[in-house]
Amino acid sequence: MTNPARATATQSHRSNPARFTRREMFRTAAAGVLAMPFLIPARALGRDGAVAPSERILLGGIGLGGRGTTDLNSMLVEPDVQFVAICDARKIRREAIKNLVDNRYGNKDCAMYPGIREFLALRTDIDAVLIATGDRWHGLASVMAMRAGKDVYCEKPSCMTIAEGQKVVETAQRYGRVYQSGTQGLSMANRVFGIEMARSGRLGKLHTAYAQIAPWDDALMRHDWLPAEPEPSKDEVDWDAWLGPCPWRPYNTAYIRGGWRGHYDFHASCIGEWGAHTLVQVQAGIGAQHTSAIEYEYVDNPYGDGLVTHFANGVKMILARSNECWPGYSGQRFDGSEGWIANSGDSHDSSRASSPALLGGFKKVIADYVARTQCPMNHARNFLDCIKSRRLTVANPEVMYRSMTTVHAANICMWLKRSLKFDPVKAEFINDPEANRFRSRAMREPWSA
């Protein structure tokens, strides 16, 4: 049977070829298509609860180990996320993430890349990246990814130095990128409850806060390195890439199994380990998200346990390895003229207060916070929403930088074993050239920002 549309087109062309214009050709082709059954899957149109491809966020990962896998799983459950590629210097990590993702999607599509430069250059389709390397790579990988046009979710502690934190802020602003630091306590209801109780004045005039630091390792850290072992093949572990901007150190298997913690070259110390969480939470509660502490009182122990920091608004924050008021981990506490409240762990059940009345109204406090800020109690979701809206995330670059500056200044206080004064506006220690030299570190070429 002759297709009428095709016959009409043929007749028109034969009778007057000059009249068979390009527009007519497309119109004729469309008529032919309409004459045939054409079914579009509901999923492709975003029906039946599915997300249309044009609305999906294409996500890639850089250095996803244990913590990174947890972050990834929190994003894979979101219907508008599609994870497409993993970059990791370790083959075993690349393959583990690929298997996880492929099993979830029921295909073999997740691509693997050993090198970050190749990954960022080739995957121009990717909208955002999840970064969960060790501390040493967080700042540099974030800067490289944002320069490549990617939005960034980066695990904490999100920078190794004050200068590196500044670079993250500058890069996000210059390239218009969305950035979320992985300080998920800012999106956990029990932590937010304590922050809001302090911020709103329910505790009266604030005078003291406590932020828990990790009860392992110390602030001084090791300055030696582990004995050399034979390097594996570059495909198994690209040791040069693993080290990144850090000084060259001989390969040792312990490093890649988490033994980099406690080493000055690679770690932000016990203060940065948990302080990256608790200091940003405390600073949110005392109204100091956009500044840093101005004074640091040295304490004579290896951990920084009991180190006192002072803010310009008159509130002091004390670093503590433990506190009887918080039964869980990574605790925060706010003391005011009308009482105190402490929060830890991930449940409101672990909260404590000077009066039971201060623990009431939990649901309303959280509901009011969400309505006021439009930030959900889901850190990954906040990041994804901001990718679409281009709003600032709850743990945006400046919030990260200001709290991490307090972390690093506390570390420097411990390293120099003396009290320090800091100017948050100039981002420098006052009349202390030696302390100021610690604001940055040399970055090994070619791994530099």
Q: Which residues contact 22 (CB under 8 A, 6 or more apart)?
A: none
Residue 11 confidence (pLDDT) above 50 = no
Per-residue pLDDT tens over the stretch 410-440: 999 999 999 999 999 999 999 999 999 999 9
Report the pLDDT value the prediction gives residue 19, as an integer from 0 to 100. Answer: 37
CATH number of 185-220+267-437: 3.30.360.10
Kindly indicate the confidence band of residue 48, based on its pLDDT and cuts at 50, 70 and 90. Answer: low
Residue percentage of the chain with pLDDT more than 90: 86
At residue 349, does pLDDT exceed 90? yes
Segments making up each domain of the chain, as ranges: 4-34, 52-184, 185-220+267-437
More reliable by pLDDT, 170 or 27: 170
CATH 3.40.50.720 fits 52-184, yes or no: yes
CA distance 61 to 83: 8
Q: What is the pTM of this model?
A: 0.89
**Contact indicator for 319, 328 with CB cutoff of 8 Å:** no
What pLDDT, on a 0 to 100 scale, did the predictor assign at position 14? 37
d(CA 403, CA 291): 8
